[in-house]
Amino acid sequence: MSAVVEAPVQQEEVTFFCSMPGSDADHPFVPCAQTIVWGGGRDKDGHGNIYQRAGNEVRFSRLGVYRTADPGVIAHIRACAKNPSSGITEDKEVFYARTLPAVRQAERLKVQYEAALAEKNRLMEQLTKQSDAAKAR
């Protein structure tokens, strides 16, 4: 009888984005270097001394980005993101729509549109060639 060895499951890395209200009309939202702390607390040891128990901490970069593969952290940040006032999202496009100035957003959308159009044209050309080859048979 052989033993079944299961390979460890690799948790997918998730990227979160954080923004907060900006100071003027040109920047209604800006990236946020937020820190989220949970867990921990105070405990007493056997001698009655109070000590601080370590908790969990997440620090977004100053660009408002945090990447992790820890399932516990992912679950906690997703729970925080459900609150609309937290400014946290997993959707890069939502983050960019909030934080980029209108001119930069338009430039990004133009580049994305041109890439999608080029891909569509490539696929249409491929379908036309396949159709012509099928008709030639």
**Residue at 1 is within a domain:** no
Q: Which residue has the higher pLDDT, 130 or 10?
A: 130
Same domain, 96 and 106: no
Residues 79 and 127 in one domain: no
CB 105 within 8 Å of CB 96: yes
Residue 15 lies in a domain: yes
The torsion angles phi and psi of 123, rounded to 5 degrees, stand at -65, -40
Per the domain annotation, does 131 fall within a domain? Answer: yes
Which domain, by its residues, includes 56? Answer: 11-100
Q: 20 with 56, same domain? A: yes
Residue at 5 is within a domain: no
Q: Predicted confidence band at 2 (pLDDT cuts at 50, 70, 90)?
A: low
Measure the CA–CA gap between 85 and 22, rounded to whole angstroms: 14
**Domain match, 38 and 84 both:** yes
Residue 57 and residue 86 in one domain: yes
13-58 pLDDT tens trace: 999 999 988 877 777 788 888 888 888 778 888 888 888 777 888 8
Give the Cα-Cα-Cα angle 103, 105, 108 (nearest 5 degrees): 110
Question: Is the same domain home to 88 and 106?
Answer: no
84 and 111 inside one domain: no
Structural domains counted in the chain: 2
CA dihedral 26, 31, 32, 36 (to 10 degrees): 140
